[in-house]
Structure 1
């Protein structure tokens, strides 16, 4: 593909959930700096749209969690993928960048690569953790993988699959230190003595699985620590409505629901209770003690536990290769366990943990969006050089 003389560079991107939207917005800013006249389109969320992106479809349609949960939506997702592929091929971009969402994006990338469009997958799938034979599917679907974590590149190198470690944009964006009092002022918790941030996930299925348990934990903690206050950032309007519906069952709970702004919610907190995922990495970068919890449909869990090849679920522990932060998954995600762990963290904050978090922050602080743009630029030029003119 080549932009030619009659049109600017075209870059298609596809993000499938809130964390991908954040990564996509940062990448867009770097790409726009490199290609001021470029056109950007595909699927993205509000942050990408604000950065000048044309989203053809609603990103929320792709925000599905778990293996079993996808089955009920499969016909809709397959039709969407067919429509997206057709629209991208018709648009003829110079490169396609799939941002995370591997179960959807790799299928898109394979079809686009077969059609002669250069493809990049931004954020390595957890192929090093489970379903390791996906590495061959990734190789067939992509011209380049952009990895956010250093240990991922080694896995790709071992299989001779093109990969660049670019670091994590969140590590570039988040300061090495965030002031708790300033964060509390920004979200209206100026007089709070002790705060716990609760983040039950950005997807509807996550909030449905985790939300009620997290609020029961908050209720018990408030009974034990009367001065304790809670803040819950809602990823979007739909999640806010879902959270507020759950809160109707907890009228005595001292909780503030805010729109987005998860970072300030965590920075304002003395401890964080959160769903496993990118948000655990963000809590690490904010340098706040956390308890990681997660639960999926029982069938999804039975399948996944037979396939997982790593010891940890959360990114802080994977990066450190040791249990820095507590994880309570599936049947261990009990109210008693979470209350006990949060009490421990509130009573005995660890200076050693802060130091560990700072080391990991520096490890992945690599100017990621610029490095990703550099790699995409090389691929575009190579694709143009090899295209018939």
Structure 2
């Protein structure tokens, strides 16, 4: 077995804000157990701060929906060509892929041809749709490291080498401090997404819901959490002038989530962050009609948000496609504001959910698994 790159860098590939956060934690833990390891690849500000030498910004691939990806295809193919040239010339010690399967599967394919071992951390949610892609993973990835309790069994069915490490959010969230913070019963949070497409689709509906809520609940005030890289002016352009809104940067988002009575959010990792923090959320999700059509043929889960998937039943109401509209969202939020029993029931469910996602230490466990395997490989 080759040993010439046993001191070479590890390439990490990340495509969105949540992956950037998890990638950063993994890098930090790696540096604890193997301080000589260096990291290069594609990421964002959190990974760069943790020590990643960013060769490509993750902003280059933040797309949403199947048909939206088709629109950006020429740019993506060009980018893949550039990454292939870098990998060929650098020959990293290993490649770690974090979520983002539409792009990262192509990196796995390149790595296989170059004989570079691949590890998948934050395993892609292929159990949700197009499960047949598990065969691709089995053939192209040495180890899948999963973070949700039900994923291990799914991957094992396909004969894959899989480890369950628990959810890395348990390390990222300062839960003890957050639990001590008060909740403002007049504050509603807004999380319209981290991609332009999501924001332009969902924010006008969130704004419409706020206008409808204003009549029965004039004392409500709104706080919008700005995703990394999202322009503040862009967010305000879709918000009505007559309803005050505070825009908060991503640095204090967890404290903001905790301070809200409830939140209206785009589907994504934030639904699990808010659930672990204990704040009830109305989940909204909208894609193009073609994406919806293809999705309906391929999706094989009952829910789209992680808290509901982990619990196995609905905790957070999900408003999908035409239901992700101002009227439905306002009605659903009103139910929580007007019915304390229903609101308390959701809060209780969220307390139970926290016990289902593993103990802190997931990034360290993942780093140890990868480092141990690479040592065994002689890399």
Decide: shared fold, TM above 0.5.
yes
Deviates more, 1:21-30 or 1:372-381: 372-381
Select the residue among 228, 243, 258 that pairs with 2:248.
258
Query: Larger deviation: 256-265 or 159-168?
Result: 256-265
Deviation, 1:302, is 0.8
| Inter-CA distance 10–237: structure 2 relative to 1 (3 Å threshold) | closer
Contact 1:97 1:119 in 2 (8 A): yes
Aligned residue pair count: 375
Alignment equivalent of 2:350, drawn from 350, 357, 378 = 357
What is the Cα deviation at residue 154 of structure 1?
0.2
Question: Is residue 15–residue 43 contact of structure 2 (8 Å, CA) maintained in 1?
Answer: yes
Contact in 2 for aligned 1:3/1:94 (Cα 8 Å):
no
C-alpha distance in structure 2 between counterparts of 1:155 and 1:297, whole Å: 29
Contact 1:232 1:258 in 2 (8 A): yes
Shift of 1:177: 4.8
Paired residue for 1:80? 79
SS in 2 for 1:88: helix
1:195 aligns with 2:194: no
Answer yes or no: is the 8 Å Cα contact 1:204–1:239 preserved in 2: no
- In structure 2, relative to structure 1, the CA distance for the partners of 1:177 and 1:325 (3 Å cut) is farther
Find the aligned partners of 1:100 and 1:240 in 2 and give their Cα distance.
Answer: 27
TM-score scaled to structure 1, two decimals? 0.91
Equivalent position SS for 2:234: helix
1:111-139: CA deviation from partner (whole Å, max 9, x where unpaired): 11221111011122221111111111111
Q: Alpha-carbon deviation of 1:9?
A: 4.3
Corresponding residue for residue 18 of structure 2: 19
- The answer as to whether partners of 1:180 and 1:269 remain within 8 angstroms in 2 is no
Q: TM-score, normalised by structure 2?
A: 0.94
Q: How much has 1:180 moved relative to structure 2?
A: 7.4
1:143 to 1:197, Cα distance in 2 relative to 1, 3 A: same
2:306 aligned partner? 315
State the Cα deviation string for residues 46-67 of structure 1 (Å, max 9, x = none): 0111111111112111100000
Q: Deviations over 1:209-260 (max 9, x none)?
A: 111111111122223211111110111243433202223xx11111101111
Cα deviation 1:343-374 (Å, max 9, x = unaligned): 11123343343333233222213311011111
Per the alignment, residue 29 of structure 2 pairs with 30
Q: Which runs of 4+ in 1 moved over 6 A?
A: none
1:289 to 266, 280, 292: 280
Task: Kindly indicate whether the alpha-carbon contact (under 8 Å) linking 1:178 and 1:267 is maintained by their aligned counterparts in 2.
Answer: no
Say whether the 8 Å CA contact 2:138–2:158 is kept in structure 1: no
Match of 1:59 in 2: 58
Is 1:216 matched up with 2:196? no
Residue ranges of structure 1 left out of the alignment (5+ in a row):
185-191
Partner of 2:374: 380
1:30-73 Cα deviation digits (max 9, x unpaired): 01111212111101100111111111112111100000001111
| 3-state SS of 1:270 partner | strand
Q: Evaluate the alpha carbon distance shift between residue 177 and residue 223 of structure 1 in structure 2; reply closer, same or farther with a 3 A threshold.
A: farther
Q: Aligned with 2:298: secondary structure?
A: coil
Match of residue 339 from structure 1: 330
Matches within 5 A, 1:67-146: 67-146=66-145
CA-based RMSD of the aligned residues comes to 1.9
CA–CA distance in structure 2, aligned partners of residues 121 and 201 of structure 1: 25
Q: Does 1:279 align with 2:273?
A: no
Distance 1:158 1:291 in 2: 33
1:183 deviation in Å?
Answer: 7.1
Write the distance in 2 (CA, Å) between the matches of 1:85 and 1:347. 56
Q: How much does 1:329 deviate?
A: 0.2
Tell me if the contact between 1:232 and 1:265 (Cα under 8 Å) persists in the aligned partners: no
Whether the 8 Å contact between 2:185 and 2:260 is mirrored in structure 1 is no
1:3–1:262 Cα change, 3 Å: farther
Q: Quote the Cα distance in structure 1 between the aligned partners of 2:211 and 2:306.
A: 28
- Measured in 1, the distance between the counterparts of 2:182 and 2:2 equals 47
Counterpart-to-counterpart distance in 1, 2:28 and 2:348 = 31
Checking the alignment, whether the CA contact within 8 Å between 2:148 and 2:164 is kept in structure 1 is yes
Q: 1:228 to 1:177 in 2, by over 3 A?
A: farther
